[in-house]
Amino acid sequence: MEKSSVEEIRQRFDNDVERFANLQTGQSATIDAPLALDLIAEAAATVTPRAASVLDVGCGAGNYTLKLLSRLPNLDATLVDLSRPMLDRAVERVRQATPGKVEAVQGDIREVALGSEQFDIILAAAVLHHLRTDDEWEQVFLKFHAALRPGGSLWIFDLVTHENKAVQQMMWRRYGEYLSALKDDAYRDQVFEYVEREDTPRALTYQLELLRRSGFGEIDVLHKNGCFAAFGGVKAKVVGTLD
């Protein structure tokens, strides 16, 4: 099956803003989404307690930044998303939660310029599975590393695959059972169809190795359940700087 274009993906999210504004119902197809949200916010606040700024990549309606602001108030927030309606909703919500500067950037993370040492925390939830080639994955991870200040942290929650084909089949079957129990077999087939059409997820092991190759250290897995994982890493502090 030919993969969806960036424009097709953007249009789908343009039409789904309010659903994604509610994590409990908007991401029901994503196993343990509320738990991952909480774990990533707490880990980011714990690892980077003096953070002044956050970059939320694929921010959707702003759920992850809002959760982080409940632990680290007053952050400046840069929100990146393909969808203008999603960004508008995220900006509206985030501005109510922080007196800090809120900036919206509409675009594809493969093309958006992030600069060097601009952010203390980067969040990337349910977005990187849209990357296609190895080069794209490597360039985006390197871009994240460059954009973080020393001591900054990157946190990811996403759909993942598995290296062993038999394990992948087992996990995919179990995910299908979860979706069928959540609604019905038709819903399972619908989710599987759009994953096949839109997504190119990579194994958790691949992404952990890529974090390391990109320069991240202190890499940790916060949670994994079936085909979904929350994990992250820290950019090393400059030698001689204060904690």
| Domain membership flag for residue 170 | no
Q: Categorize the per-residue pLDDT at 243 as very low, low, confident or very high, splitting at 50, 70 and 90.
A: very low
**Residue-averaged pLDDT of the chain:** 90
| Domain membership flag for residue 185 | no
Sign for the pseudo-dihedral over CA of 152, 34, 39, 99? positive
Residue with the bigger pLDDT between 66 and 2: it is 66
pLDDT tops 90 at residue 122:
yes
| Domain membership flag for residue 78 | yes
| Domain membership flag for residue 184 | no
pLDDT tops 90 at residue 239:
no
Can you read off the two tokens belonging to residue 99?
A: 């007196």
Q: What strand order describes the sheet that includes 119-125?
A: 102-106, 76-81, 53-57, 119-125, 148-159, 228-235, 216-225
Q: Which range, of 7-21, 99-113, 157-171, 181-195, averages the lowest pLDDT?
A: 7-21
Phi and psi at residue 46, to the nearest 5°:
-75, -45
Beta partners for residue 233, in sequence order: 154
| Domain membership flag for residue 243 | no
Q: Residue 19: give the domain boundaries.
A: 6-161+200-235
Beta partners for residue 106, in sequence order: 81
Q: Give the C-alpha distances (Å, rounded to integers) separating 222 from 26, 64, 70, 88.
A: 22, 15, 19, 30
What CATH code is carried by the domain that includes residue 92?
Answer: 3.40.50.150
pLDDT tops 60 at residue 161:
yes
Number of structural domains in the chain: 1
Q: Categorize the per-residue pLDDT at 12 as very low, low, confident or very high, splitting at 50, 70 and 90.
A: low
How much is the pLDDT for 240? Answer: 46
pTM: 0.89
Q: Categorize the per-residue pLDDT at 194 as very low, low, confident or very high, splitting at 50, 70 and 90.
A: confident
| Domain membership flag for residue 191 | no
pLDDT in tens, 20-75: 555 554 567 899 999 999 999 999 999 999 999 999 999 999 999 999 999 999 99
